[in-house]
Chain A
């Protein structure tokens, strides 16, 4: 394994500055590694020419001792639902198989302006509808922690941003961009043993992110450490005129204290009892209580809280998701772009066949259900009611974070991210997409309903040698505290994202 992969982004930048390493070399090696790890199916498309050019530009800046940011020359992967100028952006679907966006998503343009090197586009579930990265036009993504990557004994990477998680876990890049609508960043981060951040809704621009559920989608960040994650967030966050739902307040860059300086005595941790749910594995539960104990022993106040509407959340999420999907997918008619069927006998015929051919079963099912739920006669009973419950869920969070009664208020919620370690593909694939999501998103989607920030951090390995992770949530726009606590935990548990047996085997 490349020695520099153990470094943080900060160390990598330092080694660029003092000439130990060069962006070009790191990029070339990363592209080689990506090919070597093709079996993971993390990337759907590499962009070697653009990456080489960006690396060379970066190298020249370092030669002039003028790097443009603390991400200059850092290798990054982008989920294939973020538009990249002149580079195919497919959402892993047949519908957009040949779609080449004429513009960059704001997240991508900000990374490019910061001098980052974009290696390519990563795999995902079609249109981000899934929790496993198993429903992709390009086939499933594998989890590098799998005991066996061959045959059918491999583990899923989680989803829908499984490609990005897998790429970071395999050391193919320093960080990756994903999207998170109900847990699509945190879920694969949890399974792949990397840090996965879903920032506050509106903190990072969605312009150029091909939508799943506009009111919940948030660009997510994968990295191997909390501080690397912060470096990316500091680059991509902040108001964007092209996305009216971004928070107008100027973004103040996060600056986390050193681990030794973190004082937990003023931090109140809440353990929401509803997250102790059906299907939670004993190992995850054990991990959860161990970390809670660890925090308490180190001076934090830890207490049980209640988010009473949690159990309803997944149902509400499903309804709102399907309704917005039905609407968002209406544009794919084969007229302006995207898959166009050969049947042009009539406009209706062209639409019907283009859509029938372009979407997979999961997408089609959600479109049909969503349109049914939006019918005039159903709207109040489903959509309107779901919106009401969504407000209750958001109020649950507001109550524990903003409660006027001081003794009831908490700063951070500690919960599982996923209920189990990464499932075997063959087990996961035997469930319907609906069941896959209903189980896997249980702990993650409430934060999307409420818009709060949440981060998944790897804690330890299961008995099967697979990462077990926990989720932290905070009040909106309190990423500073959220990530400070995450960083503290990270330092205590000393999880090594690259210490998988596959990596070890490969380096032999």
Chain B
């Protein structure tokens, strides 16, 4: 398994005495994805993250009396595109409802959502599941519903001054809520689903998926039951802040439930928070009383109609689902298939490239301009060198400052045997720290050229043979592997600059005749 994947799904602190026999775990996800849009779902105010507090607040967002919601067409388009990409049936008529509860950051006292008739239903997602130490496999989860709804504001509690403040910038931001069926079994499956969802939404450009900005929020419903029994009582885990946490939180919660039951305890229906720092789920402090949301149709928004006729066009009043389906780009799974078919990649390589969109971009860009370079050289370098390098630094490969052109230059030099792999790796590090530098200049500056002169190689080989007398003896006795030790000595002596292909050839030549 590649290091990159292992990094994503770091292992759990083990809980003691977990009975694993016939228990099954069931996981369902609810995802809130903020629709990428310049303005809010029902008002004209802006949506940029990190704007000054309460600066993106239309009168409607602050529930100023007399203001009315006006549905943002762009958000509906994004919702429909997402629904189609996830294989949903888009409903000809969907409706908006009010969901009531009192909270200081919910200015209206209700949230406008879609309860009775959602934008779309009955989709599904099939995605590769990546578990450390296991073979990659595909899993399918049903998408029960995709609905549009508005976000709430944010409460800020000042414990020192003992007061609460409200920021309404987030109030009214457009969300898609995706409700998945409890078709999953493990934290890794859940994390893999979300990973795939992120890839899809980014392709569609319907959500930035920046979990750190709250643009994608995942709640997990988790229960355990014994095979053949009905589903167990479930808990809901909230506040999961990253893809990595999804796997950790769910695995933890499954184990916690198993342990509770093993110790004779009972699982209660409760909401638990993921505490990322201590890597555990904690029951929410204020016990939630059963909420009756007193749903009611939103009277200020007429039912949302869409045109389902094939071949139809969108008009000012009516969006055409067929026209929007034309705008859907190639989806990740299609790309994987294409990579396998068109570039002869194996399935796992295709998955890694697609799962790191920047690597895929690099790969496609490099193969296009350096067509005489074997694909294998390119993806091996991207995955085994660039990605590994980033992972070691705990750097997201998306944030690595090395440009595709620089990578091309490195690979070109590598392919032309101007430099060796060691030098190429060194260049990656140099470029990351100094993105403006040119590859050719760095090679000069750091004297990274490969040593190809036969004279120099002859000298180095002789020196190595002298230094590695034992290995030479073994090699000459027929232990072919011993040659690597001698070659390694050459590499060391040349500060890893010798052309190792030539070195090996030369060593073989030097050592063979005396053997015979």
Chain A interface (Cβ < 8 Å from any Cβ of B):
82-83, 89, 91, 96, 99, 101-103, 105, 206-211, 213-215, 241-245, 248, 323-324, 326-327, 329-331, 333, 335-337, 344, 347-348, 351, 371, 374-376, 379, 383
CA of A28 to CA of B65, assembled, Å: 31
Interchain CA distance A91-B300 in the complex, whole Å: 20
Q: Is the CB of A330 within 8 A of B71?
A: no
A331 touches B300 (CB 8 A): no
Contact between A374 and B59 (Cβ–Cβ < 8 Å)?
no
- B64-107 near A? 1/0 per residue, CB < 8 Å: 11111111000000000000000000000000001010101001
Given that A102-B59, A324-B296, A374-B296 are known contacts, is A244 also in contact with B107, CB under 8 Å in the complex? no
Q: How far is the CB of A354 from chain B (nearest CB, A)?
A: 11
Nearest first, the 7 A-B pairs at minimum CB distance are A330-B109, A374-B294, A214-B299, A215-B299, A331-B63, A208-B66, A210-B65
Taking a contact as CB atoms under 8 Å apart, the answer to whether B65 and A96 are in contact is yes
Sample (9) of A-B pairs whose CB atoms are under 8 Å apart:
A103-B59, A211-B66, A214-B299, A242-B70, A243-B300, A331-B107, A347-B104, A375-B294, A376-B292
| Interface residue total, chain B, C-beta cutoff 8 A | 31
A245 and B300 in contact (CB under 8 A), knowing A102-B59, A330-B110, A375-B294?
A: yes
Instruction: With A207-B66, A208-B66 as known contacts, state yes or no: A244 contacts B71, CB within 8 Å.
Output: yes
A residues less than 8 Å from B110 (CB atoms)? 327, 330
Among A83, A244, A344, A351, contact of B66 (Cβ-Cβ < 8 Å): A83
Contact of A244 among B100, B163, B164, B301 (CB under 8 A): B301
**Across the interface, which residues of B come within 8 angstroms of A105, CB to CB?**
66
Residues in A with CB closer than 8 Å to B59 are 102-103
Residues of chain B touching chain A, judged by Cβ–Cβ distance below 8 Å, are: 59, 62-71, 98, 100, 102, 104, 107-110, 163-164, 166, 292, 294-296, 299-302, 317
Given contacts A83-B65, A347-B104, contact A323 B70 (CB under 8 A): no
Cα–Cα distance between A215 and B71 once the two chains are bound (Å): 17
Q: Quick one: which of B59, B64, B164 has the most chain A CB within 10 A?
A: B64
Are A214 and B300 in contact (CB-based, < 8 A)?
A: yes
Q: How far is the CA of A408 from the CA of B163 in the complex (A)?
A: 67
Q: How far is the CA of A327 from the CA of B166 in the complex (A)?
A: 22
Contact of A335 among B67, B71, B166, B296 (CB under 8 A): B166
A206 touches B68 (CB 8 A): yes
Nearest to B155 among chain A residues (CB) is: A347
Dominant secondary structure at the A interface:
loop
CB neighbours (8 Å) of B98 from chain A are 327
Find chain A residues with CB under 8 A from B296 CB: 323-324, 327, 374, 383
Known: A248-B317, A330-B102, A371-B294. Contact between A324 and B66, CB under 8 A?
no
Q: Which of chain B's residues have a CB closer than 8 A to the CB of A103?
A: 59, 64
Q: B65's contact among A324, A331, A376, by CB below 8 Å, is which?
A: A331
Given A245-B300, A347-B104, A374-B296, A99–B69 Cβ distance below 8 Å?
no
A332 to chain B, nearest CB (A): 8
The answer for the CA separation of A319 and B330 in the assembled complex, in Å, is 51
Most buried by A among B65, B108, B110, B163: B65
**Considering the chains assembled together, what is the distance between the CA atoms of A210 and B66 in angstroms?**
4
Pairwise interchain contact A241-B70, C-beta atoms closer than 8 A: yes
B63: chain A residues at CB < 8 Å are 331, 336
In the bound complex, how far is the Cα of B104 from the Cα of A210, in angstroms?
A: 21
Complex Cα gap A178–B416 (Å): 85
Given contacts A326-B294, A327-B98, contact A244 B109 (CB under 8 A): no
CA of A63 to CA of B367, assembled, Å: 78
Partner of A337, one of B64, B295, B300, B301: B64
Write the chain A residue with the least CB distance to B61. A336
Contacts A83-B66, A330-B108, A336-B63 known; 15 new A-B pairs at CB < 8 A: A89-B65, A103-B59, A206-B68, A207-B66, A214-B299, A242-B70, A244-B70, A245-B302, A324-B296, A327-B100, A331-B65, A331-B108, A331-B109, A374-B100, A383-B296
Pick from B67, B163, B295 the residue with the most CB of A within 10 Å.
B67
Q: In whole Å, how far is B369's beta carbon from the nearest beta carbon of chain A?
A: 49
What is the CB-to-nearest-CB distance from A321 to chain B, in angstroms, rounded to a whole number? 12
